[in-house]
Every structure is written in structure tokens, then in C-alpha cells.
Chain A
Amino acid sequence: MQALLAFLARTRIILLWIALQAFSLSLYITSVETLRHRSLYFLEVVTAAIHQTLHWLTQPITAMRLYRELERQNAHLLEALASYTESSTPLIVPLQVWGLLSPEKNYEFIPVHSLYQSLHARKNYLLIDAGGKAGLYPGLCVINPSGIVGFIAETTATYSKVLPLFNENVQLAVQIARSGYLGLTSWKDRRTFNEIEVLYVPLYATVEVGDEVWSAPQSTLAPGGLRIGRIARIIPEPTYSFQRLIVRTYIDWFRLGPLYVLKPRPA
């Protein structure tokens, strides 16, 4: 500030001279009809150009703000819809992730964004841009419009680490949607992205290729009825009296899209 004042004091004569010249020139321009019209036209053109440029420059920011706002609105609508219990007809939930609307518990939908995700590790993880400050804590389920992505393992104030289904340490209780048989997901022996194994499904259970797999209501990690994927292959294991199911997930690890954290509302 002092440097600025010193500069102004040093250049005061030049600045005064420029100001007086500008005044004289503007007086001349306004006194001549054609020049006035030309200057006004020029000013209009310049103003329009400046506004256009500013609009062009701020367009991505405005669009991003609008996107965030719509995202928040969408989350609120989803929350409202998920807690709507008095409907006599089936509800249309705009997220395909819901295999069965389970309004036993109300969930808050917190929109989050992916900051980073590992691609070639056995213990894959995902970083999201919300943490303790946004009310997140370990154990919460992360979904995208297609299905379950994973669970929050660690949180800091501003970001969280999510362990996806494609992590060898993650196992989730699931059920076959049609028959209701339970199983447990695994990515330990099958390290193909967008595919998981479902273990411990009884050998006698009637499952078919194409059956949907949902999160089980017994799961302590995820709400029951969230879609995970469809059975792509059935591998019977008579030695253990179980059958192993290869499930093609709905989520695409390489194209996650918008993400939400499901946070149970306090009763």
C-alpha cells in the first residue's frame, strides 16, 4: 500500500496530465456529432465484446455451479423419495441402484466426487472430495446411479477413502433377487474389474445366469435391496456344497459418474 502511494505521489504530474488530456479529448468527442455517434457505437461494440468474453469465460464456472446445485437438488429429491412410505403404487426411483425400495431407514444422499481411483492394485481404493466436515464417517455406503460402489474406510476432514467391491479385503452380504438366497462377495481370487464372485451360495439354490444380485438386508454395511449386478456364470463346487457365482457388476469402475454417500438419518 505504501509502495502504491509512493508510486502515485511520484507520478502525480503524469497522472494529472493524462486525466486532463482524457477530459479534453472526451470534451472534443462529445462536442462533435459524428464523433459522438462513433464513440457511442464503439463503446457499445466494446461493451458487448467485453460482456461476451466474460460470459464465455464464466460459462464453465456458471455451468459447474448449476451442476452442483442440481446435484444437491437431486440428492434432496432422492432422499424425499426414498422416505416416501405411503404410496399405494410402485414408486419410480430415478436411481437404478434401488432394486427394492426399502423405506425402513431414511437415508441422506450426500453428493460427492471422485478425486482419485487406483486401477491396477489388489487393494483398490477411491478418494472422494468429502470427509468429516460433510458429516461422513467410516462404514457408509457409496453408490452411483447404477449400483453399489463401495464403503468408506477412512475419513479426514475434507476427503474420504472408499474401498470398492473390487478390493480383495471387501466382502459384502448379498442376496439373489429372485430367490432370496444369500451369499458373500469376494474379489480375492478374481481380479477382473467389473466382475466379482459371490461365494457360499448353497448348491441346491436355484440360480440362473442373468439373475440380479442385490445387497442383503442382513448386511451391516449397505442398505438392503441395492443392485450390484447380474450373474454371468455359475460354477458349482460340490466338494464344498456351495456354488460360486461370477457376477457382472452394474457399475463400471472406469466410468463411475456421479457418486452419492448414503448416510442413515438418526431415528
Chain B
Amino acid sequence: MSFYQIGLLFLTLPILQYFLGTALAIKPWILFEPYVLFWLVVPFSWAAEISLLISFTFGVVLDLFFPPYGTHSFSGLWVWALRGWWVQLIRPFHASEEMPHPETFSLGEWTLYAFPLCTLYLLIYYLLQAFSWEVLLWTILSASYSFLGILVLFAIFVRKKDAK
């Protein structure tokens, strides 16, 4: 993905969350958080420092608009940190020296890649605030629901037309 596409996602995802996140949530249990997409598509080819700082800034922007403060950046950085390891795990036969490009993933690959990380994000995000078995259940359902939004956004706006 180009720098401009990432910039566009940086601006639009919080706005989308502001308008659609509340409207599409099944209150008060199942939430809709499709902005996790951002941390999943930040190019692996970028320098790690830049990628890390941009990811963190995106989390801070979300924190500013959607309290509690600090939770988005904290959870988002976990996704950023584990996505490289995870993408290698789910694509074991892929050449290790070649950088993965999420925009070229098939929908199946994307599901394998994005769904666990989205679940991880929401687990950290919610469990940081409260821990109970109920919360755990709603987190998994929220992750599934949010992943649907992420999948739609990926398929429409991110995925390359000539991808597998």
C-alpha cells in the first residue's frame, strides 16, 4: 500500500468509527470496531520505527475521540508487534526474505491473518477495562462482528484487484 492510501485510512477510519461504530454496534454487548484494519495493513516494508510511530499515533488519535484514553494505542501496538510473527506462522511456505503484502492476500489468507489479530486487539482492549467470563464472550462476538466490517473494508478498498 502506498503512503497516500495509508494516510487516507488514517483519516477516514476514525471518522467511520465515529459515525458507524455507534450506529452498527449491538448495544451494549457487541461492539463494532473496524478501525483495527489500520494496524493490519500498515506496510511491512516500511522502516520499523516509522511504522511503529505511525501505528502509535493512530492509536492516540482514536484515544482522543473514544475514551478510555490509552487503550487503543496500547492494544494497537500489540497487534503491530505480533502481526509479523503471525503472518509468518500462517504462511509457512512463503519465502521468508520477501516482505508480506497484506493487500495481496486472498480472502482466506486475510481471514486467517486478520481475525485472530482483531480478536487479540479486542481481548486486550476489553480485558484491560474489566475481566469476567461475560466480557470474554462479548469480546469474541465483538471481534467476529468487527472482523466482518474489516473484511468488507479490505475487500472493497484495500485488496488489489489482481490479488489471488
Contacts and interface: CB of A to CB of B under 8 A. Distances in A.
B56 A28 contact: no
A17 interface: yes
Nearest to B74: A24
B74 A13 contact: no
B162 interface: no
B73 to A, nearest CB: 4
B49 A16 contact: yes
A27 B77 contact: no
Interface stretch (B19-27, B63-71, B103-111, B133-141): B63-71
A13 B48 CA distance: 7
Contact of A26 (B59, B67, B70, B77): B70
A27 B81 contact: no
Interface string A4-30: 000000001100110011011111111
Interface residues of B, number: 17
A54 interface: no
A31 B52 contact: no
Contact of B68 (A13, A20, A21, A32): A32
B11 interface: no
A25 B70 contact: yes
A29 B69 CA distance: 9
Interface in B81-117: 81
B56 A20 contact: yes
B49 A27 contact: no
Nearest to B75: A24
A16 B69 CA distance: 20
11 contacts: A12-B49, A17-B81, A20-B52, A20-B56, A23-B73, A24-B59, A24-B63, A25-B70, A25-B74, A26-B70, A31-B70
Interface of A: 12-13, 16-17, 20-21, 23-32
